[in-house]
Amino acid sequence: MPRNLLLATALAFSIGSPFAAHAATSGLTTVSERSGFTRTGRYDEVIALCDAFQREYPKAVRCFNFGTTPEGRPMKALAVSTTGHLDPQSARAANLPVLLAQGGIHAGEIDGKDAGFLLLREMLEGKAGRGVLDKLVVLFVPVFNVDGHERFAAWNRPNQRGPEEMGWRTTAQNYNLNRDYVKADAPEMQAMLRLANEWDPLAMMDLHVTDGAKFQHDVSIMVEPTSGADEPLRAMGKAWRDGVIARLEKQGSIPLPFYPSFVENDNPASGFEHSVAPPRFSQAYFSQRNRLGMLVETHSWKDYPTRVRVTRNTVLAAAELIAANGKEWLRQERAADERASKLGGQQVALDYKATDKVRTIAFQGYEYTRMPSEISGALMTHYDETRPQVWNLPLRDEIVPNHVVIAPRAGYIVPAAHAGWVQAKLQQHGIQSRRLEAPLTTADVGVFRADTTKFSTQSFEGHQTLAVTGDWKPERREVGAGALFVPIAQPKARLVMSLLEPLAPDALVAWGEFNNAFERKEYMEDYVAEEVAREMLAKDPALKARFEQKLKDDPEFAKSPAARLEFFARLHASWDQAYNQYPVLRVDVLP
């Protein structure tokens, strides 16, 4: 039997041979199916299929645009439910859970597009997931990164088996959308956030393909909250993750609950470390909104028919669990919204880390050798996929909070100079805020001054990022009219803190949005600083003793003329008191 036909037959059998006979004549099949899952279609196919599904099932499918890409292409979504509730207001009024499944955020990892169209047709035909669409809405985005999808070529994913050609990882503006959820620079991400704000999905699935080593496991299922965000919601996140994994195992998959990236690159013996991703990533971002987020990563070295089948099975399993538990899970998420609205004054983790605690896991790998390469000169790993082998490897997966802060009792104030652009950014996330019409003449506020600052030496996602250390200190300030007040008492309070707490990994300050505040703008000439220093030493014997002691105790300071002069400049009236001060304030009393 020809290889392509063999692969197509195997896939059809795995998802039900009665469907396979119908698929041959259905107008809702994909290029991928018709090619025996060796190819994937271009974006014009997505547009055509979206319309065709709606024509075929007008009472169960709504095809619509939710944005336009920088290159002018429509961003398509399908709302699918046999309840007839195909818009967000109707679904919300009916208390229907919504599952958002997005494919092609990295457009070379395109399994989700072909698997999603395949599964939706089966469900609508009653061949899979019987009754599931009676209990939820599937909101399907076949391709998130549309412009990247149309940068089509055979070697766009050199570490992946199939399809023959595929799209590109990043957008036409070279944004990696799965680093953009918080900063939301890309027009595509801004459109996705509008979609999420309108539909408020109970859960989202982000459908990917791994890079990395060769091994037997075919998919990783990672869900938040399971270790981070709202603690009571973690049991719900684990139930969704573990339920999907159990269903996949029954279908012959070998799923993992963590991303299989070695601690040391290319060295299997180094094992794995699991943690909670920061909210620049999809699954962590939705957990900050008190919603379920699932990252699905099929394994790149499995062939395309296998990956499409596993992705299809994963989305079906996720939908079945939401259909069975959706009403209760909606109730739990609303309770989490209420808890978030009361976070003021409580300790909140901004990020998480794995402890040093190690356990050994049996990992399904292949025999391998590690030998010096005559090409690179490095120690390289070579896998023998004909010889399965169990690797007993270390895994660090005990997760604990890293940076913990006490949430402000009232919220944050952004002075008028920054209020406009910050408010626009918050609105993209559906975060509530309001302008202050009158000045606050004597406000007790928290002020953050950086003890240390470290600017990145190269651009990352178009930003010069900034790491700061420091703490909030109480001060009394005047706050001018037009400042922005961001209350902590709102359902997205965790997301507010992710954006505005300076120690949060994806805070606006971390992305370099406030870099001007941490750049020194005014200077004292050296000869002026010399004169000032002599005057200060002559007038203040205690300062003279302090300076001389520092010369003795700090050799680096003693041999640095600039540091010695800055010692005095910082004590002079000309020193900029706003230098290294974060331009956002915290308040414990409502303004």
Domains annotated for the chain, with CATH where assigned, are: 3-340 (3.40.630.10), 355-401 (no CATH), 407-520+581-587 (no CATH), 526-569 (no CATH)
- Please report the pLDDT score of residue 9 as a whole number: 39
**Residue 590 backbone phi and psi in degrees, to 5:** -60, 130
Q: What is the pTM of this model?
A: 0.93
Q: Are strands 484-487 and 411-414 parallel, antiparallel or unpaired?
A: antiparallel
Q: Which residues of the chain have pLDDT under 50?
A: 1-25
**C-alpha to C-alpha distances, 144 to 44, 74, 75, 283, nearest whole angstrom:** 14, 10, 7, 15
Q: If you write DSSP's letter for every residue of 530-557 in order, what string do you get?
A: HHHHHHHHHH-HHHHHHHHHHHHH-HHH
Q: In terms of DSSP bridges, do strands 272-273 and 379-396 run parallel, antiparallel, or are they unpaired?
A: parallel
User: Rounded to 10 degrees, what is the CA torsion of 83, 85, 88, 93?
Assistant: -90
What pLDDT was estimated at residue 576? 82
pLDDT of residue 12: 43
The confidence score (pLDDT) of residue 20 equals 39
The string of pLDDT tens digits covering residues 192-218 is 999 999 999 999 999 999 988 999 999
Cβ-Cβ contacts under 8 Å for 397 (sequence gap 6 or more): 258, 272, 273, 274, 354, 359
